[in-house]
Amino acid sequence: MFTSFSEGTLNINISFTMMIGFLNLFVPSTGPIPSIFTDASISALPKRIFFRYAILFKTGGVYLDMDSLNIVQLDKFILPTDSALISLEKHLEYYVQWALVFEAGHPFLEKTLEIVMDNLQTNRYPRDVHAMTGPGAYTQAIKECLKESSTIQYRELGCDYEGNFKFHYRFSKFFLYGAFRKNYWRTQQLERPLLKDEGFVNR
C-alpha cells in the first residue's frame, strides 16, 4: 500500500550496470531478468522499458518518463489504499505506460514481465517496441489479468490520469532528442531491429 509521499521528487539516472546489480539482489543471477541486460543482442530501448516494470514489481512506487511530469502533488490523488492506478490513453486503445503507479508484487506487472520476456525470446515484434515491450504488451497484460481474475486490486482513473500527470512538457522532445530527433525511439526502431541478432531468441 502507498502510505506517504514527499513534497518533492528526485530524478535518478541509472546505468545498465546499476540495473543488473539491483536485479541480482532480488533474482538468481542465472534467472531470466538479468539475462536481458547482459545480452548484447538486445538494444538499449527495450531494456530500459523492461526495467521500469521490473523495479516497480520489486519495490513498488511511481514511474514517470523523463519528458513527463506530475501536475498535482502525488498524495492528492494517490490514496493510501491504492494497490495500483491505471488509466487509458486519450485514444482509449492502450493503457498509459509513460506513468505507472503500483505497489510491489502487483499481478499486472508480473503478467507484463511474462509477456515481455516471451516477446523478446521469440522476437515477436522485431521493429515495434510499442508491441514488444511498450503499451501494447502492458495493455495485453492488464486485460489478461482482469479476464482471469475479478479480485485484483486496482483503481482506474479517466484517460491520461485525469490530468494529474502530464505527457510531454513544452520542448521536452527537443531537449531529449535534439532538433531532428535522430535518437527518438520511433526513428530508431525503423533504422534497426530491437534484437541486434538472433542470439537471444529461443534461448
What is the mean pLDDT, run by run of 10 residues, along the chain of 203 residues?
A: 49 71 64 66 80 90 85 92 96 94 96 91 86 94 97 97 81 50 52 58 45
Residue-range definition of the domain harbouring residue 115:
16-191
The amino acid occupying position 96 is V
* Assigned domain for 169 exists: yes
* Assigned domain for 4 exists: no
Q: Both ends of the chain: CA-CA distance in Å?
A: 36
* Assigned domain for 72 exists: yes
Task: Say what the pLDDT of residue 85 is.
Answer: 98
Task: Say what the pLDDT of residue 203 is.
Answer: 43
* Assigned domain for 49 exists: yes
* Assigned domain for 10 exists: no
Number of domains in the chain: 1
Q: Edge-to-edge strand order for the sheet containing 61-64?
A: 61-64, 99-102, 84-87, 155-157
pTM of the model: 0.80
* Assigned domain for 6 exists: no
At 157 the three-state DSSP class reads strand
Say how far apart CA 79 and CA 85 lie, in whole Å: 10
* Assigned domain for 27 exists: yes
**Strand (E) or helix (H) holding 56:** helix 44-59
* Assigned domain for 196 exists: no
The amino acid occupying position 198 is E
pLDDT digits (tens, 9 = 90+) for 17-60: 787 777 777 655 445 566 776 777 777 778 888 888 988 998 89
Task: Say what the pLDDT of residue 199 is.
Answer: 44
